[in-house]
A and B are shown apart, each in its own frame.
Chain A
């Protein structure tokens, strides 16, 4: 079946511009996550949402990052006023449930969007 897809796969943005990255998750999955992946820092969660409620990972990121979930299986990560340090792979993931231990913990990842800020 269809997995998690992300678009675009590659994005080049000039410093200071806003960008929007899209994620189409698996139908029926409740929780949706956005991660930033870099060689130096590894994979860090940026934000996640259960159904329609959006929660930000405390302390990270700054107010320049936000996510919207216009449909249950669609999310858009928005980055305002991009900085060179935002260059990374942005991964979207979804899971069937919202808690661990019940078998619905597994996160299914998309292939990522590689963002380069010049």
Chain B
């Protein structure tokens, strides 16, 4: 079992839908949680960063961390075709080397 599990999808939604992306993990030491977005033929870029449990909102994006369930989520409201990309979760226990999920491919169709 991998330390971080993420469904690769693809997840296909209509424009305007609310998207929910999730990851589960097994390492209790993880306390820094990140979401990256990766467009085709580009490198990942950091979207959201959360420390420990709780919610964090940034525009149309909301990141949630539930440490008791070892479950993190990224919600995208009013999804746009430009949101079509692969979304990677990553987490760290305090070292600067994050463990990444496999990524979920999201397709938002007009």
**Chain A interface residues toward B at CB < 8 A:** 4, 31, 33, 35, 39-45, 48, 57, 91, 93, 95, 98-101, 105-112
| List of 6 A-B pairs having minimum Cβ-Cβ separation, nearest first | A109-B43, A42-B102, A43-B100, A109-B44, A100-B32, A110-B43
Contact between chains at A100 and B100 (CB < 8 Å): no
Q: Is the interface of B mostly helix, strand, loop or mixed?
A: loop
Q: Name B44's closest neighbour in chain A (CB-CB).
A: A109
The yes or no answer to B42 lying at the interface (CB within 8 A) is yes
Note all chain B residues with C-beta closer than 8 A to A111: 41-43
Q: Which of A4, A31, A91, A109 contacts B96 (CB 8 A)?
A: A31
Contact between chains at B43 and A45 (CB < 8 Å): no
Complex Cα distance, B43 from A43, in Å, reads: 11
Interface residues of B in 92-110 (CB under 8 A from A): 92, 94-98, 100-103
Q: Name A97's closest neighbour in chain B (CB-CB).
A: B96
Q: Which of A41, A100, A108 contacts B92 (CB 8 A)?
A: A100
Q: Which of B41, B51, B94, B100 contacts A42 (CB 8 A)?
A: B100
